[in-house]
Amino acid sequence: MISSGLLARYRVDAVLLLVAIVWGGSYLSAKVLTEQASVGAVLALRFLVAAAALYVVWLVRRERRPTRGELAVGVLLGVTQSAILWLETLGVAFTSATNAGLIISLTIILTPILESVARRQWLPRPFFVAAVMAVVGVALLVSGNGFHAPNVGDLLILAAALVRSVHVTMVGHLTRGRRYSTITLTLIQAVVGSIIFTATDVPGLLYAVTTFGWAAWLGVLYLGLACSVFAFLAQMWAIRRTSAARASLLMGTEPVWAVLVGVTIGAETLGIVGVIGAVLIIASTYWGQRVEAVHRARADAAEPRHPLPVS
């Protein structure tokens, strides 16, 4: 019979996997939208929709006003989250999908390294072997169009991978064990993103609002509600109940779902090499989860902790 602890872990894993699926579908929407408006305008609309929806949720849940700690953490995470999306969206415009998909997957390796440094406790070697296998899988998955020489877009994507790793690690270390409201923190992040991107591209935002058709607005709603409201809330909720390294592996399957969306909706093709890469990513991710789970269980048993409940 499956224990309650195991069921809880599977629930967290399922939520993180769903986040990866939702984000995997965001590439096609973002690509279409950025062909009609500037990157800043698209991101401003995404955060504005997310902030409005989160504010409604915040009112319905009757959340208390943010504490100074929540405000400080929310603003910091809002800045890093905004930086991630800006670097990713801008980087893809200057580099190939092959290079972008491979470089952003380095988050799978960067996150456990950063977390190990922060905790001063290295993960077992098999974890890093699994992480490298996942990156190899991504390389096979996205190598259909061949590799290109590094350019400014590659550097932007590399920066996005590094900032994402820092962001995921900070979420875990700044919120775990504290009575911070997940909804409040996510709302603050969305408001910060709205302010940043609206202030930096007012003309582009006005142009987008006056020219977008219904299809474009559906894309905005998908990015704002599914990829921001749901994904941000789910990501923070799950990371506060697991490790940043485990979360990174699960969300590292994002390229697989991005390709599946492209094949099924965008009418793109996926060869046998891509299929092998997708299988390799899933298999190595599962292996890495098992290694990390056993390691974390042993660490918790050796040094028991009593964190405060989270909301």
Check residue 71 and give its pLDDT.
93
Task: Please check the confidence at residue 28 and state whether its pLDDT lies above 70.
Answer: yes
Q: How far apart are CA 286 and CA 299, in angstroms?
A: 20
Q: How far apart are CA 251 and CA 22, in angstroms?
A: 10
pLDDT category of residue 140 using cuts at 50, 70 and 90? confident
Task: Please check the confidence at residue 296 and state whether its pLDDT lies above 90.
Answer: no
Look at residues 117, 90, 97, 131 and name the one whose alpha carbon lies nearest to residue 251: 131
Amino acid at 101: G
Tokens 């962001």 -> residue: 167
Contact 221, 25 (CB under 8 A): no
pLDDT category of residue 201 using cuts at 50, 70 and 90? very high
- What does each C-alpha distance from 72 to 114, 180, 192, 200, 300 come to in angstroms? 22, 11, 11, 22, 29
Check residue 44 and give its pLDDT.
95
Look at 271 and 206; give whichever has higher pLDDT: 206
Q: How far apart are CA 64 and CA 87, in angstroms?
A: 33
Check residue 80 and give its pLDDT.
94
Q: How far apart are CA 147 and CA 80, in angstroms?
A: 29
| Mean pLDDT, the chain, whole residue set | 80
- Per residue in 205-234, pLDDT (tens digit) is 999 999 999 999 999 999 999 988 888 778
The mean-pLDDT minimum among 54-58, 141-145, 208-212 falls in 141-145
Check residue 307 and give its pLDDT.
47
| The 3-state secondary structure of the chain, one letter per residue | CCCHHHHHHHHHHHHHHHHHHHHHCHHHHHHHHHCCCCHHHHHHHHHHHHHHHHHHHHHHCCCCCCCHHHHHHHHHHHHHHHHHHHHHHHHHCCCCHHHHHHHHCCHHHHHHHHHHHHHCCCCCHHHHHHHHHHHHHHHHHHHHHCCCCCCHHHHHHHHHHHHHHHHHHHHHHHHCCCCCCHHHHHHHHHHHHHHHHHHHCHHHHHHHHHHCCHHHHHHHHHHHHHHHHHHHHHHHHHHCCCCHHHHHHHHCCHHHHHHHHHHHCCCCCCCHHHHHHHHHHHHHHHHHHHHHHHHHHHHHHHCCCCCCCCC
- Per residue in 126-137, pLDDT (tens digit) is 888 888 888 787
Half-sphere exposure of 198 (CA within 13 A, CB side): 13
